[in-house]
Amino acid sequence: MEEGMQLIDENGKFNVDGLQDFVTATEFAQYGLSYAIVAIIGSQSSGKSTLMNQTFHTKFKEMDAYNGRSQTTKGIWIAKCSDIDPFTIVMDFEGTDSNQRGEDDAAFERQSTLFALEIADVVLINMWCKDIGLEHAASRPLLKTVFFAIKRSSKQPKKTLLFVIRDHTKTPLERLKKFIFEDIEKIWDAVPEPETTTLYEFFKVEITALPSYEFQEVEFKEQVAQLRQQFVHSTCPGGLVGDRKKVKSASFSIYAEDIWKTIKENKDLDLPSIKEMVATFRCEAIAEEKLKCFTSNKRWLAIKEDVQAGPVPGFGQDVTSILETCLSELLQLPAD
């Protein structure tokens, strides 16, 4: 099953029968807890399928460079990795930020990315070296919305985020690592609550870089072979796979279907759009500002002090007046 099977189509339909056939053909059900799931996300035409095929010896459909850049992978595909222990399933995800979907249909991108982080032990985030620091090409919007959902969900087994920098230039890798670590920590910290949790309670973060496949094919394949070795015995202590999952392979089909259904239908787990998330952050900041405005109001401080001595005449009317003054300023704020 190295050729791959479409698990979820571009319309979000889960292939129940196809997954059952995949499990049967690969004898996946017999492996118990001795398996790993690896997924890859990233922008369209960034070479995700090529990287998966080179690393895991799969046969996902790749973009034909001679026909120009276009959407090759639609939906989510899975395949069995060849000759790696433990039993490893790899998942190839539709590229993000594609012209085919556009802003109005970005919900699938966010939902599929959350699915990757829920279902996989290791998530490869594929990015061009030249795109580091750019908003969309470096998958920052997806990380923002996914962190928003993950941080507010119940504690999950720790996952590994493996950033793969493609077409590495002369910029020292350590400098790129420093930038990426700082960037994702800022994204995580921007999610307002719970503020006590750290990124590293949920994720193990690794970063690697690869030369150009097109212009340095020999060097690329040599380094990909080294990357592949990181997935050998990945479930052993110190391996790429973080906390051991509790879902046995025989139950994986039901588990995967249920996770996708929950993401699609449960509004509490669904990912907000970027605008919704920014609006949430802004509203919380405004609420905090207005609360501070109220608690520092001189009239309120005087009333608060008088209350210590006993009932204050006109208490309700005065406090209502102060609140109305603070809250009325909300109506004067410009809409974004």
SS3 of 304, please?
helix
Domain 5-271: CATH superfamily, name plus number = P-loop containing nucleotide triphosphate hydrolases (3.40.50.300)
Rg (CA), the chain: 24
SS3 of 39, please?
strand
pLDDT at residue 271 in the model:
47
Contacts of 62 (CB under 8 A, 6+ apart): 49, 50, 53, 72
- Cis status, amide bond into 86, omega within 30 of 0: yes
Where are the chain's structural domains?
A: 5-271, 277-332
Alpha helices in 164-273 (DSSP H): 173-190, 199-202, 217-229, 252-265
Q: Are 75 and 5 in contact (CB under 8 A)?
A: no
Helix, strand and coil content of the chain, in percent to the nearest 5, comes to 50, 15, 40
pLDDT at residue 163 in the model:
93
How high is the mean pLDDT in each 10-residue block of the chain (336 residues)? 83 94 94 93 81 92 55 83 92 73 65 87 88 64 75 74 90 90 87 75 91 91 94 88 77 90 68 50 69 84 85 85 77 52
Q: Are 99 and 29 in contact (CB under 8 A)?
A: no
pLDDT at residue 114 in the model:
85
pLDDT at residue 103 in the model:
52
